[in-house]
Structure formats: structure tokens, C-alpha cells
Amino acid sequence: SLPLPFSASLSPLLRSLLPHQMSSMPSLPPPSAPPLSPVGLGTPWIAGVVALELLLIYSASIALWLIKRRKGYLSHTTTEQLVQPNFCGASCSNGRVGRVALALWRLANLLVFSAYALADWAGCEFFRTWQNCELQANNEFPRAFTYWNYRLQPFYWAFVLLATILGSCSSCSSVPKLSSSINATAHGLLEVCVTSAWLVTIVVFTLLSPGHPSIFYDRYHFINTVCLTIEFAISRLDVRFGHFILMLSWMLLYVVFSWICRATYWNSFQYFFMELDDPIALMWYPVVALMNFVVYSIFVGISFVVRRSCMTPQASSDDKVQ
């Protein structure tokens, strides 16, 4: 047991002989916590220059999209790309085995990741432990970009499953415009989700926890990245260079939202490289944007190689990098 304070261990007689001032001496206040960073966006001129950098980067992506569109590189997403898997060769190209397997795969992902999203809103993080469900408050959303992706991914699985059903339904040809819109939405969501998942992984390994296998500790991030990668591999949906503006728009939406929150009531950003108090931020934002571009370009390259390998020699010679 801990020893009693000196004044408490004295007998009542001795304590009565002590000066009144000593017995009524106020106790020292507990040590105060370190002060939080003030609410605010940071140094104004740094924030202004970074905003200009992001505006120039976004303008360049818009120009790229317009060029690709004018040259005809942005072709429509076909029904075959959505309903026919890559693993189903010519022997079953006219059958339903591959389509049914692909539809069941997408249905399973929709159920699992939608259940996680609902449980996460309720504070039940059952993917973060191998044991029982831990009921706890989740403060990661909307601060962390990773959790933005978690919220977006169920929408992809929902749209791609709907597109698969419509594409496999012979009586659904009466609504071509609806099918075309759903196809394009599903395609764009995959381009954003799979590249964002890998971008988060690379940022964690290189900037946040260099060399530390953090992805394996965050089991949900590991699982959804693997599932999206499998979906990219087994489906015929590709990543097109002209659609880079979609991923960049998703990133900038998070940045703008975080800036507004930091200027109003957040005491810090989720990621250190977003702080605008140091001139090094002028480097961090373009570096992360470059990482974004590199990751997206890798998937564009993989898509181009896979697309050419699946074509006849004549069609392959006429193919364009999209």
C-alpha cells in the first residue's frame, strides 16, 4: 500500500500544534495536458500557394480528359466487359457458368462490405479483431481518407451487380440508356476504388509507417484491397488513362472537406503532410498527387497489356491506349 502523506500520518495532537496555514495549504493543481493546436487552416500564404498548385494539377487533368475525349479514346463501357469474366475462355463464352460465378462473387462482396459499413456506423468494428465484436466509437470517419474509400466501395459492388443483372437479362434491352449509365457508373467506381485502395497502401508504407506492415494489422483494409484487386483481375473492366480525373476529383473532395473542417473546428489533420503551417507543405501536396498519378498509371499499363493479350492480332494493332 502507498504511504500516507506526511500531514495525514501525524497524530491529531501534533497536527493541532501545526500552524493553521500549513494544514490549510492548497494542493498543487494537476499537470495540465499539452495545449492542442489552434483551430485554423495554417499560414495563409502557404494555403494559397498549395491551393494554386492543386488548381493547376486539376486543370491539367481536365485538359487530359478533354484531349482523350476529342480523339475518341473514351469509348463506352460495354455489357460484355461487365458480365463476362476474364477466367472464362472461349469454351464457355456463350454459357452462363462464368457469368453466374462473377455475379455470385459480386453479390458476396456487396453483402459483406455493406454489412461492415452499417456495423461501422453503429460502432461495431468486427473486422478489426479476430475475437468478438468490439463496440466502440469510431472517430476515423470523416477524418481518414481510408474510411472515405470504405464508404464508397459498397456503392461499386451495388452498381456492378445491378449492371451484371441487367446485362444478363435478355428482356432488359428496352432500357439501353439506363443500362449504359449504370455500366459507366460501375466502371468509374472501380477505377476510383481499386486505385485509391492501393494508393492508401503505398502512402502507409512510404510516408506514415515506412517499412511497417500496417496493412496486415488493419484487416479490413487488407481484405477490401485484395477483393478489389481480384475483381480487377477477373473482370474485363479496365482502368483508362482519360478517367484519371475521376480519382483526382475524389482525392480533392477529401482535401477540400478536410480544409473546411480544419479551418472551423479540427485541431489537426489526420495526416501530417496536410498541415499548412510549414513551407514543406508546398512539396508534400504535389508529391502525394504524383503518387496518385503513378499508381493510376500502373493500373492503366496493366489494363493495356491485358486488353492487347485478349485481342486478335488485327484488333491489337488498332488498339488505342485509353
Tell me the mean pLDDT per 10 residues along the chain, length 322: 47 48 44 57 91 95 85 70 65 64 92 84 54 44 85 94 81 62 90 94 82 65 90 88 91 94 88 91 94 94 82 47 50
CA distance 199 to 146: 10
Between vectors from CA 48 to CA 261 and to CA 254, what angle results, nearest 5°? Answer: 35
- Residue 119, helix vs strand vs coil: helix
Residue 275: C-alpha distances to residues 118, 249, 289 (Å): 31, 20, 15
Bridge partner list, 60: none
Q: What is the pLDDT at residue 90? A: 47
- Residue 135, helix vs strand vs coil: strand
Contact of 220 with 127, CB cutoff 8 Å: yes
Contact of 201 with 210, CB cutoff 8 Å: no
CA distance 198 to 231: 14
Between vectors from CA 112 to CA 109 and to CA 118, what angle results, nearest 5°? Answer: 130
Count of Cβ atoms closer than 10 Å to residue 233 Cβ: 13
Q: What is the pLDDT at residue 198? A: 94
Q: In this structure, what is the dihedral angle of CA atoms 13, 16, 22, 24, given to the nearest 10 degrees?
A: 120
CA distance 66 to 17: 91
pTM of the complete model: 0.77
DSSP tag of 207: I
CA distance 250 to 29: 48
- Grid cell, residue 3, equals 504511504
CA distance 194 to 197: 5
